[in-house]
Amino acid sequence: MNRPGSGPVVCHMTSAHPARDIRIFHKEAKSLARAGYSIALVAPHARDEEDGGVRILSVPPAGGSRLLRATFCAFRIWLKALETKARMFHFHDPELVIVGLLLRAARKPVVYDVHEDLPETIGAKEYIPRFLHSAVALIANLIEKTAARFFSAIVTVTPALHDKFQRYNRNVITVCNFPDPEEYSVMCDGGWDQRGNDVAYLGVISENRGLRRMTEAIRLLPADMNASLLLTGHFATKSLETAARNLPGWNRIRYLGYLDRAGVIQVLGSVRAGLVLLDPEERFKVAYPIKMFEYMAAGIPVIASDFPLWRHIIAETGCGLMVDPMSPPAIAEAIKYILTHPREAEAMGRNGRDAVASKYNWNGESDKLLGLYRSLGIAPK
């Protein structure tokens, strides 16, 4: 157990995620703390505090500036991390690669937690001029694969990323972003018939995550179904939010903004399906979107893009429907089926919840992380 005043065994670092990020804080850091590790988390935050056995050490936020985040914020995180005198460091953002290398040069064990395929995401970053996308992606790939060779270990979120980084580092493990079943055990289930004719979307709201097509699909449903889309999360850009509010069909959307974990669970306990309708980009086709598994954990059917990897999961478990994510009519038909076939929908929800309980859950993933730490000679304090 952590002792008051004791120094951390492990210091986690992030510049691009909130201090209470689901993967970093709620899953990894808290799991390590429960296992007896003394954990510090350096992140942009309003103040220092302790929560769930994790010491959150704050640095000033960059105020939305990506340049400041990658420079001054990263520099402050490095200084704060040094102050912890931790035995090992674990960072979560590509812009902290230089920080990781500096710590590695100081002969500290350093783990790089890769949340996404950085070069593949360059094309979706609107703040990078389109004519520079290829060049920036090439440079990002070169930097990342060169740096990866020096880290003590690499943690990836998908098997595809594991295969990529295994070419550069022998010590690579996959820790999938699966949900914690315990988090959903408190969900009140008052019966399927007590749910409204609503479906939900969780997460970042963007064009390539199906915003316009979800809005059009909900508009296409018969008015007498009284169906609506509960939209939770944050818009990728402010201009996109403005544009979305002017779309036909927005009047059938309830935008709930960013919710805490209790709010998310409350929403999923009130709807009849969850949508995960990402564009057919290569990086999405091999992703394990946390929202899909959260829908399953909550016991609601999944309506998902018809990608081969996702088809295997959904067909194997019988937890939802696959659709062409580029077709609003197809999406509308899937939603309509779920809303008009309550017994089948309820059975899909049960199948998904059972699959999370038996296979797609955080318990097994946290064991992998603990095993990695032990293999690096880092034991609880």
Break the chain into its structural domains and give their ranges: 10-178+361-375, 181-358
pLDDT at 175: 98
Whole-Å CA distances, 248 to 40, 148, 209, 224, 236: 47, 46, 18, 17, 20
Residue 77 has pLDDT above 80, yes or no: yes
- Tokens linked to 48: 């220092």
Question: What is the percentage of the chain residues whose pLDDT exceeds 90?
Answer: 82
Residues 6+ apart with CB under 8 A from 158: 174, 176, 286, 287, 288
Q: What is the model's pLDDT at position 190?
A: 61
The architecture of the domain spanning 10-178+361-375 is: 3-Layer(aba) Sandwich (3.40)
* pLDDT at position 187 over 60: yes
- CATH: 3.40.50.300, 1.20.1440.230, 3.40.50.2000, 3.30.930.10. Which one for 181-358? 3.40.50.2000
Is 64's pLDDT higher than 70? no
What torsion do the CA atoms of 216, 221, 224, 230 make, to the nearest 10 degrees?
A: -60
CA angle, 289 as apex, 299 and 278 as ends, to 5°?
A: 105
Task: Give per-residue pLDDT as tens, 340-381.
Answer: 999 999 999 999 999 999 999 999 999 999 999 999 999 997
pLDDT band at 3 (very low <50, low <70, confident <90, very high): very low
Average pLDDT for 254-263: 93
Same fold, 10-178+361-375 and 181-358: yes
In the predicted model, what is the mean pLDDT of the chain? 93
